[in-house]
Amino acid sequence: MTLYFIGIGLNDEKDISVKGFELVKKADVVYLENYTSKINCNISYLEELYGKKIVLADRKLVEMDAEKTILENAKTKEVAFLVVGDVFSATTHMDLYLRAKKMGIKTGVVHNASVLTAVGITGLQLYKFGKVTSIPIDNENVETPYDVLKVNQQNNMHTLFILDLKEGSNNSLSVNDAIRYLLKVEMKRGERVFTDNTLCVGCVKLGSLDQIIKVGKANELLRCNFKNGMHCLIVPGKMHFMEEGSLKLYQ
């Protein structure tokens, strides 16, 4: 029997690939990881299209209870483990993959789009992004994202901040909250890494038909209403003229 890791894309139930869809239709058990990101549609839409009951997999089930649930089922059944975006964008999925391999469970992988590639719609060139970092909900004593931005700036690279999902909701930390966080660390350290005048790109629900992309200085984006959904923040590094021209679409 097999454990399939299937990326289902960023927007709705129709973003799954044909290959992934066929494997889900054949699966005996279908899990949807729902603690690192959220799909932009109701789970019932997935169940209706796939013709399957979907088991929502929280962090505890995936990271602590997988041996007696997901992996145990995969020993005797066809199991589909669905991931919003691409399969291995989060390290927690690789951990599950490695545990399956260690237990001798047959595995399969079907990739899909992720926020790491969807940011290309901004016009910023993907190969010019430096280290990606995340800003957690509880960030009072966290300064690592600021340090990542500092190093990327020194290397003239763009910085993508993944914003953590708020527990029990379909929304992440907002672009506004991420900017406030960076300004707070800047105020503490005074290194001129991120200021009111720093150019930022705020993105919401990338990959959807109603995605939001806004470009402006940090203090300008603070006043914007980015609405609900999965947010991310980009701080551009040194830009090519074509990148600069592309960002003007969103100003």
- Three-state helix/strand/coil letters over 59-75: HHHHHCCHHHCHHHHHC
Would you write out the chain's pLDDT as a tens digit for each of its 251 residues? 999 999 999 999 999 999 999 999 999 999 999 999 999 889 999 999 999 999 999 999 999 999 999 999 999 999 999 999 999 988 899 999 999 999 999 999 999 999 999 999 999 999 999 999 999 999 999 999 999 999 999 999 999 999 999 877 788 999 999 999 999 999 999 999 999 999 999 999 999 989 999 999 999 999 999 999 999 999 999 999 999 999 999 99
Cβ atoms within 10 Å of 14's Cβ, excluding its own:
12
- Using alpha carbons, list the distances in angstroms from residue 49 to 12, 230, 246: 11, 23, 36
Domains of the chain by start residue, with CATH: 2-113 (3.40.1010.10), 116-250 (3.30.950.10)
User: 């203090």: which residue's tokens?
Assistant: 219
| pTM score, whole prediction | 0.94
Q: Which of 134, 89, 152, 108 is nearest to 3 (CA)?
A: 108
